[in-house]
Amino acid sequence: MQKLGLLLLQDNHPTQKTCKPPKKKKKTKVSQYHLKRDQIPDEQKGTKAARFLHGYILFGLVRADVQPPVTVPATVTAFEEHWEPSFVEKLRQTLRTATTSDSGASKMVLQLRADAAKEAARGSKIAKDILEVKETHLLSAFSLVLAAGLEHWRPDLLGAPDSLYNQVHETVFLESFRKVAGNFSYVFLAPTVSGINKPTLIIDISRSFLFSYMKLKYRVEAKEPGKLAENRDNNNNSKRWGRLAEKRTAFFLQDKQPDRVVALVRDACRNSDDESGSDGDHNKVYFVNKKSICSVSAATFVHKVEKRRVKTERRIKGAQRANVFERTQIIPVDPLESDLSVQMPEKVPIDFFDPVEFNGLLAKTRFRYAQYGVALPLTMNKEMFMLKYGNDVLKLYNIPTEEEMNKEGNSGWSDDDEPIHIPEDVPMDQDL
């Protein structure tokens, strides 16, 4: 009779599936002003990016994780008492003849650039983009804000977009954006001339930015202070884990590692979990969190190969290339538990798991992972490895038998793609 070790010799090539996503939350009601990705033509993506940046500039915001300011109803009411419904054309003419010599506008520019310089040093992309815009163009934008009779550009995010108050702000935005973008201030974002000069497109993007994007930010932060910063960190971490998985997978494939070894790093949740920070000398570093679910042998192996990968990348790209050097990884004496420990990879060799953690999983889960074999060590081909080491490794893991999985009240693995048959009457250490 065959035994488990022999069955695991079968090729079980890992797929491109990602880690199991968390349970879907109830969908939030989408604003009627929300623009989906496919609603913006590809050639106008740069125009949208420029419009969003212009909105951040007028708001005076240099980070994406800050709650946008809102206007109280009393301010809106008092402001609208000075305007008539036919004001728009008169305001537009006023703005087009406004000068840029206002001292108040100069102070606003100086404050914005000071804030941007501070946050750019901390990594804010919005702040870095703001610093790309010439001071004279920022001055012209804020001069139009003051010329409209506004102390600050503060649209009423919780009000109607077509209120008199918001129409003033929209007109200020359209005219200032046309002026600043028309002077090629946002050329690094690649807006199009047709997009800049198309009011309907700019209005659609503007209202999406204000009454969908920024309004949601305000409500999220109002409901749970600090949530925007938390979401930013989670998003950045997820992107970093994803990039790390892609880089490691590509390196493992180029290094001709076996499929079972590539499976150790193919998904984001199979890689190192780290949090950005700084050491005592203010150098940017990654503090590596622990993943109790991952075995010491698998983690040690991946870290060893990772050192080769980073060294190889530096040699290929050169030390002078930007963003080549990845931050130093530091493993604390008492590291925090990683959130990735609760995410289960779809298909991974059984020795990816710490034996104690694995044996605490549900029987059905343990039974499923048993079919994916053992990855380490790599000193021999798969067949010889399984004969010499594989069964000894498997002894550490509590793998249910087929009989246990098919007992009454248990549907076993009926939802799996293909059943495997593991005889329960063959000792794990029996010779072939």
pLDDT, tens digit, 9 for 90 and up, residues 379-400:
445 555 455 545 666 677 676 7
* Residue listed under structure tokens 């997978």: 249
Q: How confident is the model at residue 418 (pLDDT cuts 50, 70, 90)?
A: very low
Q: What is the mean pLDDT of residues 368-384?
A: 68
- pLDDT tens per residue across span 160-180: 888 888 988 999 999 899 889
Give residue 227's identity as a one-letter amino acid code.
K
Structure tokens at 417: 């793609």
Q: Any alpha helices (H) in 11-134, and if so which ranges?
A: 45-59, 73-80, 87-96, 103-120, 125-131
Q: Is it the case that residue 336 has pLDDT exceeding 70?
A: yes
The pLDDT, as a whole number, for residue 40 is 81
Q: How confident is the model at residue 365 (pLDDT cuts 50, 70, 90)?
A: confident
Instruction: Please report, as a single letter, which amino acid is at residue 262.
Output: V
Q: Please say if the pLDDT value at position 319 is more than 60.
A: no
Taking only the tens place, the pLDDT of each residue in 29-72 is 666 777 777 778 888 888 899 999 999 999 999 998 888 888 88
DSSP H/E element including 359: helix 355-359
Q: How far is CA 418 from the centre of its chain?
A: 34
Distance CA 231, CA 224 (A): 11
Contact (CB, 8 A) for 192 and 50: no
Residue 16, phi then psi, degrees to nearest 5: -90, 10
Asked whether the beta carbons of 340 and 241 are under 8 A apart, the reply is: yes
Distance of alpha carbon 264 from alpha carbon 245, whole angstroms: 10
Question: Does this model's pTM top 0.85?
Answer: no
Q: What is the pLDDT of residues 209-259, one digit of tens each?
A: 889 888 988 888 888 888 887 777 777 777 777 888 888 889 888 888 888
Q: What is the pLDDT of residue 276?
A: 57
Find, among 160, 177, 166, the residue nearest to 58 by Cα. Answer: 177
pLDDT for 227: 83
Six token digits for residue 206: 């503007």
pLDDT tens for 187-200 read 999 888 888 888 88
The number of helices, as runs of H, and strands, as runs of E, in the chain is 19, 3
Residue pair 9/374 in contact by the 8 Å Cβ criterion? no
The percent of the chain in helix, strand and coil, each rounded to the nearest 5, is 55, 5, 45
Q: Which of 419, 408, 371 lies closest to 13, judged by CA?
A: 371
